[in-house]
Amino acid sequence: MIKLNKHPDYSLELKRLNYTLDYLKIYNRVIAKQKNSLDSQIDSQLKHFDPDNKEQFTQVTLNTSIRDSLNQKVQNAERCLLKPYFARVDFKETDVDKLQNLYIGKMSLLKEETGEFLIVDWRAPISNLYYDGRIGKASYTCPDGNIKGEISLKRQYMIENGKLEDFYDVDITTNDDFLQACLSSSKDNRLKDIVSTIQVEQNKVIRANMWRPLIVQGAAGGGKTTIALHRIAYLIYTFEKKLKPENFMIMAPSHFFLSYISDVLPELGVENVMQTTFEDFAQKIIGRKLKIMPSTKKLSDLVNLRDSINCENIKKVSNFKASLEFKAAIQSFIKTIEQNFIPYEDFKIHTFVLIPSANIKRWFLEDYKSLPLMKRVNEIKKHLTNSIENNKARILQRVENSYDEKLNKVRDEAPDSPERRKIIIKLVDERDALLKNIKKNSKTLVKNYLSKISVLSPLEYYKKLLNDKALFNKLTEKYINHELSELIRETSKDILDKNVVEFEDLAPLMYIKYLTQGLDEKINIRHIIIDEAQDFSLFQFSVLKEIIDSPSFTILGDLCQGIYSFRGVTDWNKTADLIFGTNEPALLKLEQSYRTTIEIMDAANSVIRFLNNKSLPLAKPVIRHGDPVTVMEKGSLAKVKNEIEKNLLDLHKNKLKSAAIICKTMKECKELKSLFKNSSFNIQIINEKENNYAGGILIIPSYLVKGLEFDMVIIANASKEQYTPDELDVKLLYIAMTRPLHKLYIYSVGEKTEMLREV
């Protein structure tokens, strides 16, 4: 390898970097000055703000929006000063004389004097030359069409804190020195710097068609999460004139996970993307705060329970409640509700029928059947209101005419007398009272008619279904037997009676809310990205698709890590067919694992093979070697603790920053943590309620570690008693073994599990 300062292009590259940094500093000062000026202007406007002055309100709103944009540019420029670009591509278009030197970074920087791009945004169409192109003939697609030409140079840079550390000339970005250097870095840098090492298969995911559903089967360590975040950044850039960051949502498995990835989007220059969990989004849709049993509670029970019958019952109940069959049963339940939802009686004033009940019934059950129940009522309300407005004068005139006939008849049939005058006065009073009554009642007639409609909350409807044994059995009998139906009904009812809902209840409650009341506010999400999607049920996918009212989904997961398979996805093709149907989702794979070394990945693959399921795709590690996986049998957890302390000393010695000590259960986590009470190491124990990831050394149960990665992983007790060849145990051990970047230590109290016999 040529030393950096001996490279023939070193001085030119150093000069270019310094020139770019100088221009960036000037650009940053100009933008910061504009922002500060706007800050002062907005402060002045707010001091003299008149809420009734629409023009002033519009100006403040516009200025605030411009300031936010400038603030984002300032932040992007400040980050860019540390690493302005990471790659260069020299490209010459066919039939064009000029050679383009394209320096690719996380933002665009235009030299206004010449119109030259000093930095090209990695999301721009031309940047595809770096990710997909090779030396020689190449092309890229942009709004002007397919641009052909030739690449004469591809170069990758290592720039830290504005200093040129190294650069490499490459053809493709896989298995080269630059990629190896990036993969060898600590966990803290990897999430942020993946943009410089995006591989061809990852680039296809990032730039896939937004309007076509996308399902990605991604290997452990394949970069699913960060690729998902880069996809959001790419889509926002590509559709910036049509969509805002607020139109995108990423759904992650937990708040802890969201904290773990919290700084990635800002690093990519993206703010205000909605980041949520399914539980939080469900509560927003349902419209009330619910006491939700942690989604990991059931998994924890399955991990800890040894009662096979009880375990099977838990799985059967969850499996049905998560199914599209249960969704169909909920829909049938709402159809029984709608039959008697509104009063099927004539809408009338006094004796005058304004709208026959048959018409109202037809509107409700047929004409507006595509709407939620209460939105149908709103449509009918319009009809009722219009019928009064259109007929009130006519009815009043009919009353007057009717009484005029009666008065004239009295006058014609009898001579003037006190008796006749009494009759006439009585009729006039009767007429006036009736006219007054009609006028008065017409104001509240619609309200009174609709007051006979009783709408319950989603939770009340759900309880009503579960409390009605005969109805529940009738609605589910075509899908499951009576015994299972009763088990599901009783189990769910018992949980709800404690004012708690379990995770599998959320999709049904959302669906009931959607069918009965509709959405409280418009959902402006145009694209949703779901991470760890193998743990989502078909019911969840289906209800999200209906609520979002769009097939624009990116779904990423790994079937090998499907520890919630009793309720989650087991086949992506089936998911594609049942949820998206004719929308034909694109099915892509991320088979390469970039997280772990070959030694670690080979060991993990030997474990997942115990499932003997050829449909489960094995991860393919990149060519990065490391230390062998250490497997040691010890006589007690206390002795394991002593070995772990040695490992943690090596962590600091090797200047690594993060480590996870993984126990199978929370009980074992607490037992191990107690052994460290007098230790000099600062070790945090993670449970289901943890919301923030602060880094450092963690003790964490196996069922909470999915989706995370650490410099070092220590599996505290992989004994044959703890990890059996059962599917769940195999997947939990596999997940634990695929979390480390660099080092994996496995201990067992007593004899190790048979799954590690080849490790």
Q: For 141-166, how does the pLDDT look when each residue is reduced to its tens digit (9 = 90+)?
A: 999 999 999 999 999 999 999 999 99
Other Cβ atoms closer than 10 A to 235: 25
Does residue 421 surpass a pLDDT of 80? yes
pLDDT digits (tens, 9 = 90+) for 298-337: 888 888 876 678 889 999 999 999 999 999 999 999 999 9
pLDDT digits (tens, 9 = 90+) for 394-407: 888 887 888 888 88
Does residue 180 surpass a pLDDT of 60? no
**Which of 688, 681, 677 lies closest to 714, judged by CA?**
681
How far, in Å, are 98, 101, 361, 478, 479 from residue 475 at the CA level? 71, 67, 24, 7, 9
Band of pLDDT at residue 173, cut at 50, 70 and 90? low
Share above pLDDT 90 across residues of the chain, in percent, rounded to a whole number? 60
Instruction: Please tell me the CATH code under which domain 598-756 is placed.
Output: 3.40.50.300
Query: What's the rounded Cα separation, in Å, for the pair 363 and 372?
Result: 13
Does residue 115 surpass a pLDDT of 90? no
Q: What is the pLDDT of residue 349?
A: 83
Band of pLDDT at residue 193, cut at 50, 70 and 90? low
Q: What is the pLDDT of residue 3?
A: 66
Helix H or strand E segment including 348: strand 347-349
Q: Regarding beta strands 352-355 and 527-530, do their DSSP bridges make them parallel or antiparallel, or are they unpaired? A: unpaired
Band of pLDDT at residue 70, cut at 50, 70 and 90? confident
How is domain 214-287+520-593 classified at the architecture level of CATH? 3-Layer(aba) Sandwich (3.40)
Band of pLDDT at residue 423, cut at 50, 70 and 90? confident
pLDDT digits (tens, 9 = 90+) for 662-705: 999 999 999 999 999 888 899 999 887 776 667 799 999 999 99
220 is in an annotated binding site: yes
Amino acid present at 441: N
223 is in an annotated binding site: yes
Better-predicted residue by pLDDT, 49 or 493: 493
pLDDT digits (tens, 9 = 90+) for 267-285: 777 888 999 999 999 999 9
Share above pLDDT 70 across residues of the chain, in percent, rounded to a whole number? 96
Better-predicted residue by pLDDT, 338 or 177: 338
61 is in an annotated binding site: no
- Domains in the chain: boundaries: 4-194, 214-287+520-593, 295-337+457-514, 347-450, 598-756
pLDDT digits (tens, 9 = 90+) for 610-643: 998 877 888 888 778 999 999 999 999 999 999 9
214-287+520-593 shares its CATH topology with 598-756: yes
Query: What's the rounded Cα separation, in Å, for the pair 454 and 520?
Result: 18
225 is in an annotated binding site: yes
221 is in an annotated binding site: yes
Query: What's the rounded Cα separation, in Å, for the pair 547 and 396?
Result: 46
Query: What's the rounded Cα separation, in Å, for the pair 661 and 647?
Result: 10
695 is in an annotated binding site: no
Among the residue ranges 11-20, 458-467, 680-689, 729-738, the one predicted with the least confidence is 680-689
145 is in an annotated binding site: no
Query: What's the rounded Cα separation, in Å, for the pair 57 and 46?
Result: 9
Does residue 647 surpass a pLDDT of 50? yes
The per-residue pLDDT of the chain, averaged, comes to 89
Amino acid present at 143: P
Query: What's the rounded Cα separation, in Å, for the pair 356 and 430?
Result: 27
Is there a contact between 555 and 532 (Cβ–Cβ < 8 Å)? no
Is there a contact between 281 and 507 (Cβ–Cβ < 8 Å)? no
136 is in an annotated binding site: no
